[in-house]
Amino acid sequence: MRFIYLLPLFCILILSACNDQETPKRVNGPSVKEQAPKMPVSSQLDNAGTTLITKLVTNYYGLKNALVATNAAEADSAALKLTVMAGLFQTYLQHDSVHNSILKPYIDTIKTQSELIFSMPAKDEKCEKQRLAFGTISSALYGLVIHAGLKNAGIFHQFCPMAFNDKGATWLSEESEIKNPYFGKKMLECGETIDSL
């Protein structure tokens, strides 16, 4: 019988505990409810073009990560995939008279330099030669995504001032943490993020 008197007290405790769980917790910044929702990836291209350029960037990341690991065989495989995707994007551009003339030079460069990477003969310094072509691909891909107006893609534009005998070079990354594809383990964290898309 005593428990009947305690029932309202238990209900109040349970309700207050549930209300506490709904209150968002702050962890170094705005609460979860205060954060802006993630915007969908978009570009000046139609849906098919946006999908293709997103896949192109994803294939590029495979090449970048292979060079971070200084793995020439993986770089060959990733470059082949990038070549195929660049070919598909070239075909897409043939039917887009608005963007073709602006984007074609970039995608042509990406395709020819990717072909160069996987067609290089296996030698001791193969990764170093792959990195030269990768630098050209990186510049062309950045130009492509900028001129296509790609937004909300989670791309980090990064720069290493020491690459290519201190001439400097850029690359694109899927993460803000620096993992340098021009030096790999030798100087993995050399560089900085200069832009994000």
Alpha helices (H) in 23-99, listed in sequence order: 47-68, 72-94
Give the range of the structural domain holding residue 146, as residue numbers without chain letter: 47-196
* The token pair that represents 155 in the structure block: 């791309």
pLDDT band at residue 37 using 50, 70 and 90 as cut-offs: low
Q: Is the pLDDT of residue 136 over 90?
A: yes
What is the Rg, in whole angstroms, of the alpha carbon atoms belonging to the chain?
Answer: 24
Ranges 39-43, 87-91, 93-97, 123-127: which has the least confidence: 123-127
pLDDT more than 70, % of the chain: 81
Asked if residue 160 belongs to a domain, the reply is yes
- The 10s digit of each residue's pLDDT in 50-75 is 999 999 999 999 999 999 999 999 99
- The 10s digit of each residue's pLDDT in 88-107 is 999 999 999 899 999 999 99
pLDDT at 126: 87
DSSP E strands, 23-167: 156-160
Cβ-contact 54, 172 below 8 angstroms: no
Asked if residue 18 belongs to a domain, the reply is no
Asked if residue 141 belongs to a domain, the reply is yes
Q: What single-letter DSSP state applies at residue 191? A: -
Strand partners, 192: 159
Q: Is the pLDDT of residue 7 over 70?
A: no
Total length of the chain: 197
Strand partners, 193: 158
Contacts of 9 (CB under 8 A, 6+ apart): none
Q: Is the pLDDT of residue 33 over 80?
A: no
Cβ-contact 56, 85 below 8 angstroms: yes
Phi-psi region of 165 (alpha: psi -120 to 50; beta: other; left: phi over 0): left
Q: Is the pLDDT of residue 12 over 70?
A: no
Asked if residue 96 belongs to a domain, the reply is yes
Give the number of domains in the chain: 1
pLDDT at 122: 80
Q: Is the pLDDT of residue 24 over 70?
A: no
- Say which residue, 79 or 16, is predicted with more confidence: 79
pLDDT band at residue 39 using 50, 70 and 90 as cut-offs: confident
Asked if residue 129 belongs to a domain, the reply is yes
Please state, rounded to an integer, the average pLDDT across all residues of the chain. Answer: 85
